[in-house]
Structure 1
């Protein structure tokens, strides 16, 4: 689940960065340097970016769920 989240999040984020560069170079550079700006750009332009934004958010959710499950497994093995 962790690696699926990483992959989905990366694809969604890259898609948002490409769309941000198409919109404006400032949005693109900001999205490239500061990741949350890509999410803000996606929210402000939701009609054009709903699929990449949902991919990025789903990736984040799966990433944290997978990391939490891995930590829980590690804690149970350590005990």
Structure 2
């Protein structure tokens, strides 16, 4: 929660859980929610996966019998290893 107390020249914040943040996002107007969604997509595109996450995805890709799922997982692995493609 953010402290907007009068007389404070800086905002003080206390830690929030992910659930609390999600509830705050639900309270935003649709335009502000859109900004949050764009930010989340940007974070996801820039985030590199850990070795454990990559290994888990590779195992999932090898074990699936669904070609569409395999392609989706493969793309996730590529994006998670190299980052977002700039030609896309």
Q: TM-score, normalised by structure 1?
A: 0.33
Q: Which structure has greater strand proportion?
A: 2
Larger RCO (CA within 8 A; separation ≥ 6): 1
Higher helix proportion (structure 1 or 2): 1
Greater C-alpha Rg: 2
